[in-house]
A = this chain, B = another copy of it.
Amino acid sequence: MTTIGVVGLGYWGPNLVRNLTENRHCKRVLVCDKDPLALERATNRYPSAVPFLRYEEMLADPQLQGVMIATPINTHYDLARKALTHGKHVFVEKPFTSSSDQAVDLISLADVQKLIIGVGHTFVYSPPVIKIRDIMERGELGEIFYISSTRVNLGLHSKDHSVIWDLAPHDLSMIMYWLGEAPVEVTATGKDFVQKGIPDVAFLNLRFASGAIAHVEVSWLAPSKLRRTTIVGAAKMLVYDDTEHLEPVKLFDKGVRFKDPDTFGEYQLSYRTGDIISPKIESFEPLQSEVNDFVMGVTQRRNPKANGEDGLRVVQVLEAAERSLQRSGQPEKIEDVKSWI
């Protein structure tokens, strides 16, 4: 049984509070926001939560073991650093930090302090995403050729950071989780149509050491919501559509084969088309699983499934993509995280 604090009670923070109050390993929930109204709304809805207007006061709570940070991106680093220096475990919403330097610093600090870091890559806790990983791990897709992902809808424009920092962390965290590797190069193009200086449409291309490539389209300017990821393997292919409630994952028994030339002639390609299967996907709230993973991580002093290094890997790609976009799509190399930390 532990005590966890949530800082930031805007749009997302209350969801963390709800899950913490319902988590049976969490005894007390502290909540913090500098806006008294936000604080009041939260304690009205969750009367057992202990309110704090000042972050330092919450950190001073002697029972507090972990802090979940759900504030704007540019405050992640300072708030996480303070928590770690106070000896508290931290969970930071995605994207982990504003820069990889910040991420490396937090990881080192946590390492020294023997503290854990969780990051809010909620999708890696989502049933269809886990199902896809299972399918890939048992080799059903064969060698992975490429992944193409689209994540677009109308709104909500951020005033602080581009659509890349807002939407791409979802796809990047899933892709790295599935492939088990980080990209070695990224190119990005896109543009700032509505707010000058803040790209609202972007196209990312990733190259991996394994030979796989990936493509991610993100936009705040689209007529309808699309959340569609295609994974093409040498053996089978798969489509994951997060807007499809009935059949979010479809596995296509399709592929191309080289045929042995009968004569001394040319090789032939043949196309194989078999059944399409929508596997049954378990139904649970990813956020509940994510919050529980952090709470259990805190009590057992082990890193959660999505940890600081995963956060860093995503931030590295975001940084590189942003640089590439500023340079009209020039390819940008990405260093291996292991050489950094």
Interface on A for B, CB 8 Å cutoff? 47, 145-146, 148, 152, 154-157, 159, 185, 187, 189-191, 193-195, 201, 203, 205, 207, 211, 213, 215, 217, 219, 221-225, 230, 232, 234, 237-239, 246-247, 250, 252-254, 256, 258, 266, 269, 271, 273-280, 328-331
- Residue numbers in B under 8 Å from A221 (CB-CB): 145-146, 232, 237, 256
CA A258 – CA B157 in complex, angstroms? 11
Residues B146 and A201 in contact, CB atoms below 8 Å apart? yes
* Given A217-B148, A329-B187; A275-B277 close (CB under 8 Å): yes
CA A246 – CA B223 in complex, angstroms? 11
Contact of A329 among B157, B205, B238, B273 (CB under 8 A): B205
CA A189 – CA B328 in complex, angstroms? 13
Closest chain B residue to A189 by CB distance? B205
Residues B269 and A194 in contact, CB atoms below 8 Å apart? yes
CA A206 – CA B243 in complex, angstroms? 29
- Residue numbers in B under 8 Å from A330 (CB-CB): 329-331
* Given A189-B205, A193-B145, A252-B224; A269-B157 close (CB under 8 Å): yes
Residues B328 and A187 in contact, CB atoms below 8 Å apart? yes
Residues A254 and B328 in contact, CB atoms below 8 Å apart? no
Residues A256 and B328 in contact, CB atoms below 8 Å apart? no
Residues A279 and B275 in contact, CB atoms below 8 Å apart? yes
Residues B223 and A252 in contact, CB atoms below 8 Å apart? yes
CA A145 – CA B193 in complex, angstroms? 7
Residues B154 and A256 in contact, CB atoms below 8 Å apart? yes
- Residue numbers in B under 8 Å from A194 (CB-CB): 256, 258, 269
Residues A146 and B191 in contact, CB atoms below 8 Å apart? yes
Contact of A271 among B146, B154, B189, B191 (CB under 8 A): B154
Contact of A223 among B156, B219, B237, B331 (CB under 8 A): B237
- Residue numbers in B under 8 Å from A256 (CB-CB): 154-155, 157, 194, 221
- Residue numbers in B under 8 Å from A230 (CB-CB): 152, 222-223
- Residue numbers in B under 8 Å from A215 (CB-CB): 189, 203, 217
Residues A329 and B331 in contact, CB atoms below 8 Å apart? yes
- Residue numbers in B under 8 Å from A237 (CB-CB): 154, 221-223
Closest beta carbon of chain B to A263's beta carbon, Å: 16
